[in-house]
Amino acid sequence: MRDNPGNTPGRAALAAAEALPAPAESTYGWVVGESELAAALRRHWVRSGLPKSNIMFCGYWRMP
């Protein structure tokens, strides 16, 4: 149970990933976690030029 319901799990990890340089097209990405954050990282990678076919993502719970 979180002390503060506003603290979304993985927010710091998403911010750190978004701060990295864009991945090379030959890169493969895999992300798993809270649904909204997994999808956000996938969208970031796609906007950065990584083909959708090179990304596997799985959101395994949803924040209320």
pTM, 2 dp: 0.75
What is the reported pLDDT for 19? 93
Asked if residues 55 and 45 have their Cβ atoms less than 8 Å apart, the reply is yes
Q: Report residue 35 as tokens.
A: 């649904």
* Average pLDDT rounded to a whole number, residues 13-20: 89
Q: Report residue 44 as tokens.
A: 């970031």
Q: Report residue 61 as tokens.
A: 């719970």
As beta bridge partners, residue 32 has 58
44-63, pLDDT tens digit by residue? 999 999 999 999 988 887 66
Q: 1 pLDDT exceeds 50?
A: no
Q: How confident is the model at residue 36 (pLDDT cuts 50, 70, 90)?
A: confident
> DSSP character for 10?
T
Q: Which residue has the higher pLDDT, 64 or 14?
A: 14
